[in-house]
Amino acid sequence: MVKVTLKDGSVIEYKKGITAKEVAESISAGLARVALAAEINGEVKDLGYQINEDCSLNILTFDSEGGREAYRHTSSHILAQAVKRLYPDAKLAIGPAIDNGFYYDFDVDKPFTTEDLEKIENEMQKIIKEDLKLERFTLPRDEAIKLMEEKGEKYKVELINDLPEGETISFYKQGEFVDLCAGPHVESTGKVKAYKLLSVAGAYWRGSEKNKMLQRIYGTSFTKKSELDEYLHRLEEAKKRDHRRLGRELDLFDIYEEGPGFPFFLPKGMVLRNILEDYWRKEHKKNNYQEIKTPIILNEDLWHRSGHWDHYKENMYFTKIDEGDFAIKPMNCPGGMLVYKRKLHSYRDLPQRIAELGLVHRHELSGALHGLMRVRCFTQDDAHIFMTPDQVKDEVLGVINMIDSFYKVFGFKYHVELSTRPEDSMGTDEQWDLAINSLKDALETKGMEYKINEGDGAFYGPKIDFHLEDSIGRTWQCGTIQLDFQMPERFDLTYVGPDGERHRPVMIHRVVFGSIERFIAILTEHYAGAFPTWLSPVQVKILPLIDKHVEYALKVQKELEDKGIRVEVDARNEKIGYKIREARLERVPYMLVIGDKELENNAVAVRSRKDGDIGTMPVSEFIEKILEEVEGLI
């Protein structure tokens, strides 16, 4: 007999060899119908997995990450089988589940077209109707290679050759289709109910520009058609909100061929950017941060000392100055270390909070660039906090509170994730355990739910990441809190303690926006370019009906500007309907229409982006209204 501990803590005894699916059936017929996979001792397995020893077991449905991954991984195999049926000479590469969907890479003679995707979707439907069982089997290395060679799958052979000695080499079979795969999968192809192929793109084998360009087909799948329809609607909405298009249309920012990955901020974009930076400075001053500015180019030796040379060199740019080797900074941290180290500190000086809006440069592959979301130069709103060990918890809590207050201003919900030690890291086990437990303690004190990402921390310490949810349900990683015991040691940072001896400070790296550029992109898509009044580059557009009203319009403009309101006058000799449409396209919060009646009564006819025509009012009343709307936010 084996003891199986279920998610609710109950323990049930079963005969050895019982499958996870049979356990699900014994618990609830309803659960068994929607079960997709099982988490056994923390590992996701097929429902056919046989239990031969005591274990913990959690039945996974589509509502769980593991269940969705198994479902979409199976969807990718259905896609691959359909492609092989239609294009027998296609070579298989890899096909994982990803966030919100799946993809599969193929080596084919010519790129797939939209018509090809429709044919592949139809063939996938046939495979789903056939309800083919997914069967797992393993082979010794030589037999596995032989099988894939016989099938002409050279990429699979390469993958097998790269597996460590002693690694289990598993395959999944569905009908005539066999694929090298570690799994897990759902029981049969018929389990997949609603799917859609979304796009096709080029992708280098193993992500290297030195390798052949393959064809990557992206798709998504859900257990209900209504969920698929809702997701496709969100995708359409996302296209409308694409910050790259809106950035050009609203004259905020752009990227030109002369500087791939290096964004240009235009006058209105600079207004938006400066509002964010001014707000950032105000809040940091309120929270007792000191602002600094460090150089963009620093000596190569500094990057050896910081550890970036060993862990980040491939993402850095280099130059020579006076025959010496220098690097353009990819991060602001080493400059912050030098600022702290410039003088001796007492424990009474700590915590010391040093903030910087620092421009950094990182070499990103051209295929990874994406508007302001992924660029080669950006401004990080960094801060480095130096503290005594007993101040760590309070400082982490202080940063959490600050980040929370920032995001509430923009109307963002968020969730947090705690990332632990990666394989490529610095420091001792004891230091990492202390750092991870300190972050956990702070989160639990705040009563915050969090997900743990094993092995996803920075090379110098664990981190808390804040993931924002935008208005159409997408999430974006922005703020982060990284606890670091390594940099202070590498830079020999010290403070004098109450005992008169020198001690090593602990350090926090943290950002709130993440990068100004990326945050602006997120805001642009979150608001679909219709920024709230306090953020709008142009808050008011004055629209005179005819030329004789222009002089009064300019007078109103001056009154508004004197009160700090951002305003433009559209004095073009165009019809008022055209001017109103143009202002709407520019997402201006307020339009003030001026004709004879307004001129005579020192008034304005107010149209709101949100509420439409809200009537005529004295200029002073409108000024009071708009200032009340933005009060406390600027």
**Residue 119 is a catalytic residue:** no
Structure tokens at 628: 């009340």
- Angle at CA 228, nearest 5°, toward 29 and 529? 140
Distance CA 465, CA 112 (A): 38
On whether 384 is known to bind a ligand per the annotation, the reply is yes
- Angle at CA 350, nearest 5°, toward 345 and 354? 90
Distance CA 437, CA 458 (A): 16
- By the 8 A CB rule, do 252 and 268 touch? yes
**Residue 362 is a catalytic residue:** yes
**Residue 361 is a catalytic residue:** no
Helix (H, G, I), strand (E, B) or coil at 207: helix
Structure tokens at 264: 């240009």
**Residue 463 is a catalytic residue:** yes
DSSP 504: P
Q: Could you tell me whether strands 177-180 and 170-174 are parallel, antiparallel, or unpaired per DSSP bridges?
A: antiparallel
Contacts 24+ apart (CB under 8 A), 83-89: 83/120, 83/217, 84/177, 85/123, 86/119, 86/120, 86/123
Taking residue 519's Cβ as centre, other Cβ atoms within 10 Å add up to 27
Helix (H, G, I), strand (E, B) or coil at 196: strand
**Residue 380 is a catalytic residue:** yes
**End-to-end CA distance of the chain, in Å?**
67
- Which candidate in 268, 362, 421, 607 is catalytic? 362
- By the 8 A CB rule, do 456 and 424 touch? no
**Residue 345 is a catalytic residue:** no
- DSSP alpha helix (H) spans, 37-152: 65-86, 114-130, 141-150
Query: How many DSSP H helices and E strands does the chain contain?
Result: 20, 35
**Residue 304 is a catalytic residue:** no
On whether 509 is known to bind a ligand per the annotation, the reply is yes
- Which candidate in 81, 380, 431, 486 is catalytic? 380
- Which candidate in 105, 116, 179, 382 is catalytic? 382
State the residue for tokens 């004891």. 430
- Which candidate in 68, 284, 463, 474 is catalytic? 463
Helix (H, G, I), strand (E, B) or coil at 290: strand
Structure tokens at 461: 């310490």
- Which candidate in 68, 73, 91, 384 is catalytic? 384
Please enumerate, by residue number, every residue annotated as part of a binding site for Zn(2+). Answer: 333, 384, 509
- List active site positions: 333, 362, 380, 382, 384, 463, 509
Please enumerate, by residue number, every residue annotated as part of a binding site. Answer: 333, 384, 509
